[in-house]
Chains A and B, each alone.
Chain A
Amino acid sequence: MTETSDITSRQAKLSQIVEDLLKEAKKQGASAAEAGISKDSGLSVNVRMGDVETIEHTRDQGLGISVYFGKRKGSASTSDLSPGAIRDTVKAACNIARYTNENECTGLADAELMASEIPDLDLHHPWNITAEEAIEQGIRCESAARQLDKHITNSDGASVNSHNGLQVYGNSHGFIGGYPSSRHSISCAVIGKEGDTMQRDYWYTASRIADEMESAETVGTKAGERTLARLGARKLSTREAPIIFQAEVAVGLLRSLISAIRGGALYRKASFLLDHLGEQIFPDFVRIHENPLLARGLGSAPFDGEGVATTAKDIVRDGVLQTYILDSYSARKLDMRITGNAGGVRNLAIEPGSLDLAGLCQEMGEGLLVTEMMGHGINMVTGDYSRGASGFWVSNGEIQYPVEEITIASNLKQMFEQLVTVGMDEERRGSTRTGSWLIENMTIAGD
């Protein structure tokens, strides 16, 4: 659908808008400015009970600018990219900057840190799929789930999504860069019934390349199997036990680690890992790595949100915290070196171990396998952790029965210290990659 030359010319158009914005900011008196612009178009189709439910054609665009008057900053954004709206947006940002305070740490990232070349990370692979074909794939996906077993009685449907985006960022150091990207996904959620109770579960696949996704049938089958496995779930009595976080929920633990070592949380003293740089926070075997330059990676980016070159690095090595996650503002606040993480961490991974999920259950012997979590019960200031959970009770190294309506609680710092092993069953669908985690002990609250 989109030829390379077409992308090049559209990217040039967006670059021109960014340059115009920066010029306009200078004209209105700003000493420095930065602007980002993105355009995204896509198709999103939902089918349910064998028929199409919604077809959405999405077309999103947005532009954001920050202006600096010395050490004062103002920001504005708009979804309207007309020349008049651009002028108004710059004006709005300049107006804001009249009222914010002088702040030594405010400003663009230093000029010498700008990415000097922008590698092609192979992120753009359009999927030439029509609405009719997407509907057909969705129906095949949902059918695979619904045909699995008579206990699958209802459906929340299947969806097929394809999005292409183009983004450009530039600043008054003269940096300007952009790149196109794509993201496609297929998901399915079905409902099972046993007696008076219903259970729902889902599965999805996602990739920058349509051909690298799981097939629609595989997604449907997995969704159906997961739903069936939950039927007949019971509560547990209150107890202490070891816990396995299955890979897709272990992703959340890695994200909590990143939230706790973000510069913004640290200079506000809002982290349980304050002053832990260089300290042992995991057992010796743990290595956690960021690779923003991974070809075709779902989290990949050649430069960060401030134009700074992104680089691969160890975040945890031999269990020791190696770095914080900093943008220019937080780096200056903490008097540390910038880490190229404006906009977050890209392609985070924990080194996998040698056991698959069945092996981890054997290793645990008796305990809880958590497959889904509910709620937001994490206090980042103290690390206190208390969340709703469902999953399976494991005994003699084997799954015994599904469980639900329980909570698991501990403290994240303690949970990191008590990580026994990481599985080889890697979750690879997002920008955070991990196997399942076995944690020594947590409190389970139930009956």
Chain B
Amino acid sequence: MPNHLDIAHATLLEPASLKEHDLDQVMDQLLANQIDAADVYFQAGRLESWVLEEGIIREGSYNVEQGVGVRAISGEKTGFAYSDEIELPALLEAAKTARAIARSGQQGKIRITRQPNKQGLYEPINPLATLSEEDKVILLRHLDEEARKQDPRVQQVTVSLVAAHDVVLVAASDGTLNADVRPLVRCNVHVIVEENGRREQGSSGGGARQAFQFFLDEERALGYAREAVRQALVNLEAQPAPAGAIPVVLGSGWPGVLLHEAVGHGLEGDFNRKGTSAFTGRIGERVAAAGCTVVDDGTLAGRRGSLNIDDEGTPTQQTVLIENGILKGYMQDKHNAHLMGTSSTGNGRRESYAHLPMPRMTNTYMLPGEHEPEEIIASVNNGLYAVNFGGGQVDITSGKFVFSASEAYLIENGKVTIPVKGATLIGNGPDVLTRVSMIGNDLELDSGVGTCGKEGQSVPVGVGQPTLKVDELTVGGTSA
């Protein structure tokens, strides 16, 4: 099988008759002034999506996005320009625009060298072509049928199937020349159920950096259909959620969105360089209970949040953020790492060639503890057991974060009892993990559905955690 760099060459450079020495010329153009660092990011993206609703394949679309982004950095200043034409004159023009931020000064000359992409976390495949259109349509229909046959109360089923193929190539003034071919598939089932005039919804899905076969293996996608219906039916029975500060047990897997919001964003290098995060200057301090170890790991094979290299060409790694309750480190891109006197942790990511890279999470999760999940639930007299969530949000500076439960139950006298309506949970990032009193032995990662937004840029991410007990968290229900 051809390697990432050869594919990127053939996809990005050859159609424009660009050679590697042309990149040297662009780099020279960029470095002609007093520029500390510069990079050029080529991207060719293809995205295909299909939607089934009301039993018919209603929509399909095919999207092409390609171009090149050129960045030049001088001290804390960044100049950036991009073009959707991949050709030498446009590149040189963008380079001229990008470097205009710097004062005049000495000349630089560098020679970029090929670096093999060795991680091998996913195959350099085009996932769009891994299933015929006929079979994609059959898969959508099967999921619709599977959802409908679960229960006569199912009224509406919407199924989506998406595949993305991204080929990127990065050349940087530190000599980097690296490439990555990134497959990504995603499937989602959303249902609406109705009983006696009450309507509720349920949603489930998954994805990976793999071929479409991922959804057929282990009846994964059929599982999404069954799970969406199960959730919706649970919600038909849901009573008003409690309001106030109570013990909360968070289920394993996707509830790890807690970590993403409460601590993840606050530990991104840019906020800490600028001193705007509630975690600024707290390395070495206790920010979580003993036993809590949180990592960001871009190296998990095939996962949605994983990357062989980040968008600056740095291989991804596992970064320990919190170890046994003590704050250990931040996530860095090259620019912020340089300004903070440290190295990139392979977290420099961008939505596309038309966006600037910044420190972003990959897969963020907490390592398992020793408690059985049942034992954790049994320890709570009156509390909430939240197992599914929608999105969340954080105010980096004040540390306040929210995440919204979509499936939750009351815990009464150590037993899970009635389902309650979705409610937003709110807390303070720097101290919520200090209230973690029990950590389960059941670490799970999410099914591959996460998308993180920061400063208007979206990137795919993963989260995970074992079952966790937080002694007190504010639950935003209506039942005071």
Contacts and interface: CB of A to CB of B under 8 A. Distances in A.
Interface string A362-392: 0000000000001111010110101110100
A384 B423 CA distance: 9
Nearest to B72: A55
Nearest to B421: A384
Contacts of B116: none
Contacts of B425: 407
Interface in B382-420: 390-398, 400-404
A96 to B, nearest CB: 4
B475 A374 contact: no
A386 B422 contact: yes
A74 B59 CA distance: 6
A381 B480 contact: no
Nearest to B352: A79
Interface string A183-197: 000000001000001
A130 to B, nearest CB: 11
Nearest to B15: A84
B275 interface: yes
A52 B101 contact: yes
A386 B356 contact: no
Nearest to A379: B422
A178 to B, nearest CB: 20
Contact of B61 (A60, A75, A239, A407): A75
Contacts of B100: 55, 131
A405 interface: yes
A75 B59 contact: yes
Interface string A233-249: 10100111000000000
A270 B390 CA distance: 17
B76 A57 contact: no
B114 to A, nearest CB: 27
Contacts of B477: 386, 409, 443, 445
Contacts of A78: 63-65
Contacts of B84: 59-61, 79-80
A438 interface: no
A444 B243 CA distance: 7
A76 interface: yes
Interface stretch (B32-40, B192-200, B319-327, B373-381): B192-200
A268 interface: yes
Given A100-B58, A240-B480, A53 B397 contact: no
Interface stretch (A85-93, A285-293, A336-344, A423-431): A85-93
A59 B192 contact: no
Interface in A130-167: 131, 154, 156
Interface residues of A, number: 78
Interface of chain A: mostly helix, strand, loop or mixed:
strand
Contact of B80 (A57, A89, A404, A409): A57
Nearest to A408: B476
B60 interface: yes
Contacts of A88: 64
A200 interface: yes
A377 B402 contact: yes
A405 B97 CA distance: 44
A51 interface: yes
B79 A54 contact: yes
Nearest to B278: A198
A52 B244 CA distance: 45
Nearest to A48: B274
Interface string A83-108: 00100110011011111111100100
A318 interface: no
A45 to B, nearest CB: 10
B398 A374 contact: no
B137 interface: yes
Interface string A36-61: 00000000000010011111111111
A375 B398 contact: no
Interface string A263-300: 00000111000100000000000000000000000000
Given A79-B64, A89-B64, A268-B54, 13 more contacts: A56-B81, A80-B64, A96-B62, A101-B57, A198-B398, A230-B398, A268-B158, A375-B392, A375-B424, A381-B201, A407-B474, A409-B478, A445-B476
Interface of A: 48, 51-61, 73-80, 85, 88-89, 92-93, 95-103, 106, 131, 154, 156, 191, 197-200, 230, 233, 235, 238-240, 268-270, 274, 374-377, 379, 381-382, 384, 386-388, 390, 404-411, 443-447
18 contacts: A52-B77, A52-B101, A54-B79, A54-B80, A61-B84, A75-B59, A76-B64, A79-B67, A98-B133, A198-B398, A238-B480, A269-B192, A405-B426, A407-B424, A407-B474, A408-B476, A409-B478, A445-B244
